[in-house]
Structure 1
Amino acid sequence: MSAISGLTNKGPAIDVLIPAIEKDLATLPHVIDSLRRYVRHPVSNIYIVSPNSSKIRSLCTRKGCIFVDETRVLPFTKKDIHYSSTRWNRSGWLYQQLLKMNGDHICRESFFLVIDADTVLIRPHRFRSGNNSIFYCRSWSQPEYFRTYRKLMGARPPSPRSFVTHYMLFEKAKLAGLKRKIEDRHGMSWHAAIIRSIDKKKQFGFSEYETYANYVYSGDSTSVILKNANNKSLKSSFASLGKAQTLRLARTYRSLSFHQRKGYSTPARH
Structure 2
Amino acid sequence: MTIKIDVLIPAIEKDLGTLPYVIDSIRKQVKHPVGKIMLVSPPSKRIQALCRRKNCTFINERRVLPISKKDIRYQTKRTNRSGWLLQQLLKLAGGNLTKHRYYLVIDADTVLIRPHVFLVKGKTVFYCRNWSRPEYFRTYKKLLGTKPTASRSFVAHYMLFDKAKLSRLKRKIEARHKTRWYWAIIKKTNKQSYAGFSEFETYGNFVKAHYPGHLVVRSSLNKSSSSTPASLTRKRIIRLAQKYRSISFHKRRWYIRKRGVRK
Question: TM-score category by the smaller chain?
Answer: over 0.9
Pair 121,219 (structure 1): closer, same or farther in 2 beyond 3 Å:
same
Structure 2 CA distance, aligned partners of 1:229 and 1:185? Answer: 32
Match in the other structure for 1:40: 31
- Which region of structure 1 is more displaced relative to structure 2, 209-218 or 239-248? 239-248
Local SS of the residue matching 1:47: strand
Pair 150,260 (structure 1): closer, same or farther in 2 beyond 3 Å:
farther
8 Å CA contact retained: 2:76, 2:193:
no
Query: Structure 1 unaligned runs (5+)?
Result: 1-9, 262-270
Identity %: 56
8 Å CA contact retained: 2:174, 2:180:
yes
Match in the other structure for 2:164: 173
Match in the other structure for 1:239: 230
TM-score, normalised via structure 1 length: 0.91
Deviation at 1:85, TM superposition (A): 2.3
Structure 2 CA distance, aligned partners of 1:86 and 1:220? Answer: 39
Alignment-mate amino acid for residue 91 of structure 1: S
Deviation at 1:260, TM superposition (A): 4.3
The count of aligned residue pairs is 252
Match in the other structure for 2:115: 124
Structure 2 CA distance, aligned partners of 1:11 and 1:184? Answer: 35
Local SS of the residue matching 1:221: coil
Structure 2 CA distance, aligned partners of 1:157 and 1:193? Answer: 18
8 Å CA contact retained: 1:17, 1:107:
no
Local SS of the residue matching 2:37: strand
8 Å CA contact retained: 2:227, 2:249:
yes
Match in the other structure for 2:68: 77
Match in the other structure for 1:92: 83
Match of 1:143 among 134, 143, 146: 134
Local SS of the residue matching 1:162: coil
Match in the other structure for 1:230: 221
Local SS of the residue matching 1:175: helix
Match in the other structure for 2:205: 214
RMSD (CA atoms): 1.1
Match in the other structure for 1:20: 11
Match in the other structure for 1:29: 20
Q: Deviations over 1:89-130 (max 9, x none)?
A: 111000000011100111221100000000000000000001
Deviation at 1:25, TM superposition (A): 0.8
Structure 1 CA distance, aligned partners of 2:248 and 2:36? Answer: 23
Structure 2 CA distance, aligned partners of 1:208 and 1:84? Answer: 19
